[in-house]
């Protein structure tokens, strides 16, 4: 048994009543919060953290990323979506080696922990190497092995639906429950109808969902009507992709019928506003989706289109963009934006006992140092976090009761070594990248 006591923290619980406590203790035993307010009388702590001037809140859940793409950070700049894929990403990824994924994800884990992210929904290749980082770092993750399933695309490595379903069978609920899995068909615009139908069948058999890209551009939607006579969301739904709770990344161009499908099938939409801004796309209609009863979470997307993995920034951009685009400053208030970045992400990823600070919840929380000029005075704690806080204010990260960032120091990852390896591998990929692909025609 291990025990941990946080003392003198402000606590932003994100419970149903939005309770905020002042100068409180949080008692943690093994993986769970066992008391908030006063610790139990007989409680003996292995470690005590004096959290004066800090606020404790649920950690961030990044609901859509490609963590290893940290290796491609800054490698495909100032390009629209089609050229970003064809001339940038797929060209550089042609040089991807299996072991690169481990180091790219390790780099991502350092960055995510430093900015308060406790869990990430990853969609990439060689996912057993992502699982290794999750095991070693102490983070939580929902892992989906991407399959292009296309007539003209070469798969990344020896990827088949059989191999990715073996991955699900091996890793589902592994690392003490910190790893969950989905299938990862790439998208309706790359994957063939047959490969999507196969993925849906296997997902049903394994009782997992699918993590998939959906409706990122008007051209994708137009092509879908031309080819299949229906929208991408309706098409995927008919193929059975949404039969288990799934994650639809982006879902920007959706009509009212699509929204009803997403709601009825309990699909979680992962909005990635920074990618949308950077690639000059429209953005996910978060407020409309929420008002219609669709579950919405937030993601950074990969560092090749973001160019970081900072959920504080994503949360802020989500709130700002919704206000700006709707012409209504009252939409997506700070407490709601915080919920999207934490609790909603936890549910999207199947960590249903996380994303809230209350007794019996998983101890997945962060401490922000609020004793900073840009966070004073405190008229509105949630607004200070959403609109003023910085990643560098994150001082502690705790996942399943284990301290992974202590006073700004990573406890499980060798950051210096990881940065050196990732730098060398990213540069090698760029040097040896070859050719172009016209795989993306959306």
Nearer to Zn ion, 191 or 334 (CB): 191
Nearer to Zn ion, 122 or 301 (CB): 301
Q: Which stretch binds Zn ion (CB under 5 A): 38-46, 141-149, 295-303, 373-381?
A: 295-303
Of 54, 53, 56, the C-alpha closest to 12 is 56
**DSSP letter (8 states) at residue 37:** E
Minimum distance of Zn ion from residue 442's CB (angstroms): 13
Site for Zn ion in 62-121 (CB under 5 A): none
Minimum distance of Zn ion from residue 81's CB (angstroms): 11
Q: For residues 20 and 13, what is the distance between their CA atoms, to the nearest angstrom? A: 6
Q: Which stretch binds Zn ion (CB under 5 A): 80-88, 97-105, 293-301, 323-331?
A: 293-301
Q: Which helix (H) or strand (E) holds 49?
A: strand 47-50
Nearer to Zn ion, 301 or 421 (CB): 301
Nearer to Zn ion, 195 or 305 (CB): 305
Backbone angles phi, psi at 19, to 5 degrees: -65, 135
Nearer to Zn ion, 89 or 385 (CB): 89
Decide: helix, strand or coil at residue 380: coil
Q: For residues 74 and 352, what is the distance between their CA atoms, to the nearest angstrom? A: 35
| Site track for Zn ion across 397-436, x = CB under 5 A | ----------------------------------------
Site for Zn ion in 111-170 (CB under 5 A): none
Total residues binding Zn ion (CB under 5 A):
1
Sequence-distant (6+) residues with CB within 8 A of 42 are none
Count the Cβ atoms, other than its own, within 10 Å of residue 76.
Answer: 22
Minimum distance of Zn ion from residue 321's CB (angstroms): 18
Minimum distance of Zn ion from residue 226's CB (angstroms): 24
Minimum distance of Zn ion from residue 396's CB (angstroms): 29
Q: For residues 392 and 196, what is the distance between their CA atoms, to the nearest angstrom? A: 42
Estimate to the nearest angstrom the gap between the alpha carbon of 261 and the chain centroid.
22
Site for Zn ion in 296-315 (CB under 5 A): 301
Minimum distance of Zn ion from residue 64's CB (angstroms): 6
Minimum distance of Zn ion from residue 235's CB (angstroms): 19
> How far apart, in Å, do the first and last CA atoms of the chain sit?
53
Q: For residues 348 and 261, what is the distance between their CA atoms, to the nearest angstrom? A: 16
Count the Cβ atoms, other than its own, within 10 Å of residue 184.
Answer: 25
Binding-site ranges for Zn ion (CB under 5 A) = 301
């Amino acid at each position: 048994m291990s025990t941990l006591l946080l003392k003198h923290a402000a606590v932003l619980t994100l419970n149903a009543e939005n309770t905020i406590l002042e100068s409180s203790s949080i008692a943690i035993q093994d993986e769970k919060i066992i008391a908030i307010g006063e610790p139990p009388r007989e409680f003996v702590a292995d470690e005590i953290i004096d959290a004066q001037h800090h606020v404790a809140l649920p950690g961030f859940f990044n609901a859509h990323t490609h963590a290893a793409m940290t290796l491609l950070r800054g490698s495909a700049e100032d390009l629209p979506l089609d050229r970003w894929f064809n001339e940038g990403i797929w060209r550089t990824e042609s040089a991807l080696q299996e072991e690169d994924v481990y180091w790219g994800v390790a780099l991502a884990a350092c960055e995510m922990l430093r900015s308060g992210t406790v869990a990430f929904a990853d969609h990439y290749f060689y996912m057993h190497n992502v699982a290794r980082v999750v095991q070693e770092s102490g983070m939580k993750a929902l892992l989906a092995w991407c399959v292009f399933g296309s007539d003209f695309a070469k798969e990344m490595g020896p990827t088949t639906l059989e191999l990715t379903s073996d991955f699900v069978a091996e890793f589902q609920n592994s690392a003490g429950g910190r790893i969950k899995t989905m299938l990862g068909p790439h998208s309706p615009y790359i994957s063939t109808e047959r490969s999507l139908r196969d993925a849906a069948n296997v997902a049903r058999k394994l009782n997992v969902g699918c993590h998939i890209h959906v409706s990122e551009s008007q051209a994708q939607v137009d092509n879908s009507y031309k080819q299949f006579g229906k929208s991408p969301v309706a098409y995927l739904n008919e193929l059975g992709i949404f039969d288990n709770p799934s994650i639809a990344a982006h879902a920007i161009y959706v009509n009212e019928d699509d929204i009803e499908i997403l709601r009825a099938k309990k699909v979680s939409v992962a909005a990635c506003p920074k990618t949308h801004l950077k690639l000059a796309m429209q953005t996910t209609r978060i407020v409309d989706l929420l008002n219609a009863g669709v579950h919405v979470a937030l993601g950074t997307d990969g560092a090749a289109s973001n160019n970081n993995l900072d959920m504080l920034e994503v949360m802020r951009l989500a709130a700002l963009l919704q206000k700006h685009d709707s012409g209504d400053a009252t939409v997506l208030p700070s407490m709601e934006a915080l919920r999207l970045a934490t609790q909603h992400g936890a549910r999207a990823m199947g960590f249903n006992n996380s994303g809230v600070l209350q007794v019996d919840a998983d101890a997945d929380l962060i401490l922000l140092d609020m004793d900073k000029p840009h966070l004073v005075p405190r008229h509105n704690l949630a607004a200070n976090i959403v609109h003023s806080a910085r990643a560098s204010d994150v001082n502690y990260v705790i996942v399943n009761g284990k301290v992974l960032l202590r006073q700004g120091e990573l406890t499980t990852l060798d950051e210096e070594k990881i940065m050196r390896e990732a730098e060398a591998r990213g540069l090698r990929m760029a040097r040896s990248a070859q050719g172009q692909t016209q795989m993306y025609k959306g």
